[in-house]
Amino acid sequence: MEKKDIEYKIHDLKADYVRLQQDLEKLEFVKGNLHPLEKQLRDIEEELKVLYKKLEE
């Protein structure tokens, strides 16, 4: 994967992360089921760690 591709993927993941955080806040307000969104956020965080590590190489 090229540096440009990694940076693009990081940008997309960050956008998804922000969107999921907003959805999570809405669900908290209406007392919805937060578990699936929390798992997605953790998965994105892990993927970002991997991509940042690749970017450093």
pLDDT digits (tens, 9 = 90+) for 26-43: 988 888 888 999 999 999
Radius of gyration of the chain (CA): 13
Backbone angles phi, psi at 34, to 5 degrees: -90, -20
Least Cα distance to 9 among 56, 44, 57 occurs for: 44
Residue bearing the bigger pLDDT, 21 or 1: 21
Which residue in the block uniquely carries the two structure tokens 């809405």? 26
The pTM of the full predicted model, rounded to 2 decimals, is 0.86
Q: Which residues contact 53 (CB under 8 A, 6 or more apart)?
A: none
pLDDT band of 51, cuts 50, 70, 90: very high
Q: What is the pLDDT of residue 19?
A: 96
Q: What is the pLDDT of residue 33?
A: 85
Q: What is the pLDDT of residue 31?
A: 85
